[in-house]
Structure 1
Amino acid sequence: MSVDVITNTSPVIWLGRVLSGLAIAFLLLDAVMKLVPIQPVIDTMQALGFNSTTTLARGLGILLLGCTVLYAIPKTALVGALLLTGYLGGAIAIQLRAGNPLFSHILFGGYIGIFLWAGLLMRNNQARALLFP
């Protein structure tokens, strides 16, 4: 069965929107927590080995917010997904270097990445056509 036959159904498109929406909601929450650098954010950054400052937290928040907005806009969703994949890869590398648990910490960025890409491929015909010609 071809990719087009499977993904052009309305329930699949809606499932893609739900998956994308969940990923966007989590990433926006994470970005806002970094923009308003509350004490747990600062403490966590220090535990991960950063010389944590509010400037660094806000910079990461702005970066994450920008990438998430690009992902949320249909015309720039593919670029946003690529940028977010890089951001999440960095998060995975930091968790790995810190020696945190595999399934709850290290792979969490991978879980969000799966939601991002699955949602994008289910809801966006152009992204699907580009990746699966």
Structure 2
Amino acid sequence: MTMSKSRRGAGYVMSGVVIALMLLDAGMKLVPLDVVIKATAELGYPPSPELARALGAVALVCTALYAFPRTAVLGAILLTAYMGGTVAAHLRIGNPLFTHMLFGVYLAVLAWGGLYLRDTRLEALLPLRSPSAEG
């Protein structure tokens, strides 16, 4: 199965955006910045630097797994789970739907979309078009 350079390039750009955002998120939590501690408390969790660092470490591991082609599918699964936690946290306190609550969904869709565009194995596993359209 061949893949166009533009398709693969788009996949790498999408994946790169996810990786950059997750590295920013993980870095802010690993430090941890005061804004992170405050946001954690606003979400109803203990305002603890240890909790922030733990979440940052989890985010960093998931992102690293996603960044390497051999473990990218596992990384995408783990990033999706991590994003599910963010959706649940925002849902629990009633944050706005499209800007806060669904941001994790947007990021997970971007992660899987990027992986789909750059990895032919996913296209074989999940064909999004009918076989007759490939002609």
Pairwise mapping of residues 47-66 of structure 1 onto structure 2 (< 5 A)? Answer: 47-66=42-61
Shift of 1:52: 1.8
Equivalent residue for 2:13? Answer: 18
User: What percent identity do the matched residue pairs reach?
Assistant: 48
1:49 is paired with a residue whose SS is: coil
| In the alignment, structure 1 residue 32 sits paired with structure 2 residue 47 | no
1:52 is paired with a residue whose SS is: coil
Pairwise mapping of residues 64-79 of structure 1 onto structure 2 (< 5 A)? Answer: 64-79=59-74
Equivalent residue for 1:113? Answer: 108
Letter in 2 for 1:18: V
Structure 1: state its 5+ residue gaps.
none
Q: Per-residue displacement from partner, 1:21-63 (whole Å, max 9, x unpaired)? A: 0010000000000000110000000000001211100000000
Task: Give the TM-score normalised by the residue count of structure 2.
Answer: 0.90
Letter in 1 for 2:80: T
Inter-partner Cα distance in structure 1 for 2:102 and 2:35: 21
2:9 is paired with a residue whose SS is: helix
Shift of 1:126: 2.1
Say which of 30, 41, 49 aligns to 1:46: 41
Letter in 1 for 2:117: M
Q: Per-residue displacement from partner, 1:48-92 (whole Å, max 9, x unpaired)? A: 000121110000000000000000000100000000000000100
Shift of 1:130: 3.1
Inter-partner Cα distance in structure 1 for 2:65 and 2:10: 20
Shift of 1:128: 2.6
Equivalent residue for 1:9? Answer: 4
Shift of 1:127: 2.8
Equivalent residue for 2:119? Answer: 124
Say which of 78, 84, 89 aligns to 2:84: 89
Equivalent residue for 2:133? Answer: none
List structure 1 runs of 4+ shifted beyond 4 angstroms: none
Q: How many pairs were matched up?
A: 128
